[in-house]
Structure 1
């Protein structure tokens, strides 16, 4: 069995090198790692030149393709190298435990039908097709559950993908650029008959590590105002994904919910509310117009 991986990076050479070191410090590391560089300058490329080996390979996109476009390239390159399983990583979010990969492959060993397994990962959620909402597991649902089926495994959660699902045609849509590209991939894999799993016990250990046990759903959290531009992509892309999957009830529900949440965002201040409303409005508008790709940044 060949285990390869890729890490997506954008203008963060220092964080990238630290993450590479932590990935190869795993008790069960990948045999090789592609660096997929979205950077707008050549600093990362210059930094990587002295680190390239048979184990570390480099591919510069040449423009900012976003996490979605970079993920497509990473999946393609790893499968072309003969990988059976592919680690889908990010430059500032290494595996949180030194034995994360080892435990995830132990999980794979216990799955009855590996040929129909799309992926395994650390943290996963269920997805409500009628509302277009994610549901996280409670602590009690995670405890003692080594094998737990999920609908989606988010990015930066030690996502390890089976080559068979990639060869079957499941790929994230490159034109999403940023936001929910993992959900897009996961739903395509599910549509093809593949299943996704997490190690529930390991997920619960992660919550305790970051003091996030006693999880409670339904809390509206305030974003950092400098990150509100992301609302545009999460709004637009979720609506595109719901439409593609013909989840029309969820599509209508989400548009209404997005409008209501934009209105309630004013409780965090006028400037916060105005920015949230602007990005939400443009996200809905570009969905209606069928516009994809990179349109907004900070």
Structure 2
């Protein structure tokens, strides 16, 4: 092992108590990170002050604005890769490891793959390049192998990334802000020839823990209105990712399916259907006009449209 083997950074935004719990679980791992960096998107100093009190050895970067998981990811990866760390955990403030030996198992798996491995994690899937949808990894696939190669590891699924790939310019796209920035990053790694691998045992254990061993695709369901803002980013950013990778069939599939879902949601009432349709139309419009500076956030129904 080198002197700079493994570091971690956590992107946070106005959740200091949740962050402290995640930090504790990261540091209590059987193989904890040699350096912990907090990328602070907060609009106040609550997190900075709490870190100084509880974890004074944690490095801290105050971004100065909410850069999202994408912008914070770019800052954290570039900072630690330039410092020479071979492996880097990219985490959100509510993404603690699932077991005490999660990091140890993933890093051992990464080493077994050698220089071709660009990323390891717990949960991952392959991408259907015709529809733009993820193909759910079958239980049988996980049961028949120790490690499984996938196309993407979602945010929150313990993404540990090879620092050398970051030094080659493979970084998150900051303008995506939130949603599918992980898929965009992972497809960039794949294009560069890196393998993305998940640990089958950890994956299966997590499915059992969440009682998801027999989950099947479900019908369109009504979401709570407080989370509808996420759909804006999902639609806008997925269109960007499909076009960037020249998955044009998937691009139009996502476009038409999003419009169709908007219409179907009127079955939950005119007001609800209108909210979903407005989000969809805004997402398509802002993608087409490259309005990446627009922000739709919970509790803030009026978008921020001022360019930075």
TM-score, length basis structure 1: 0.95
What are the superposed Cα offsets for residues 1-57 of structure 1, whole Å, 9 maximum, x if unpaired?
410010010001111111100001111111111000101122111111224544x11
Partner of residue 97, structure 2? 95
What are the superposed Cα offsets for residues 216-244 of structure 1, whole Å, 9 maximum, x if unpaired?
13543432210101111111011011111
Tell me the distance in 2 between the aligned counterparts of 1:169 and 1:223: 37
1:115–1:164 Cα contact (<8 Å) kept: no
Partner of residue 70, structure 1? 72
Tell me the distance in 2 between the aligned counterparts of 1:213 and 1:190: 28
Partner of residue 212, structure 1? 212
1:177–1:293 Cα contact (<8 Å) kept: no
Partner of residue 282, structure 1? 282
**Segments of 4+ moved more than 4 angstroms:** none
- Alignment counterpart, residue 13 of structure 2, candidates 10, 20, 36: 10
Tell me the distance in 1 between the aligned counterparts of 2:87 and 2:56: 20
1:139–1:215 Cα contact (<8 Å) kept: no
Pairs aligned (count)? 295
Deviation at 1:290, TM superposition (A): 1.6
Tell me the distance in 2 between the aligned counterparts of 1:86 and 1:184: 18
Partner of residue 161, structure 2? 161
For structure 1, the residue ranges without an aligned partner over 5 or more in a row are none
What are the superposed Cα offsets for residues 160-192 of structure 1, whole Å, 9 maximum, x if unpaired?
000121112111110111111101100111111
Matched, 1:239 2:239: yes
- What's the secondary structure of 2:51's corresponding residue? helix
2:81–2:164 Cα contact (<8 Å) kept: no
For structure 2, the residue ranges without an aligned partner over 5 or more in a row are 299-308
- Alignment counterpart, residue 50 of structure 2, candidates 40, 47, 52: 47
1:52–1:58 Cα contact (<8 Å) kept: no
After TM superposition, the structure 1 = structure 2 runs for residues 110-121 of structure 1, keeping only pairs within 5 Å, are: 110-111=112-113, 114-121=114-121
2:7–2:34 Cα contact (<8 Å) kept: yes
Partner of residue 22, structure 1? 25
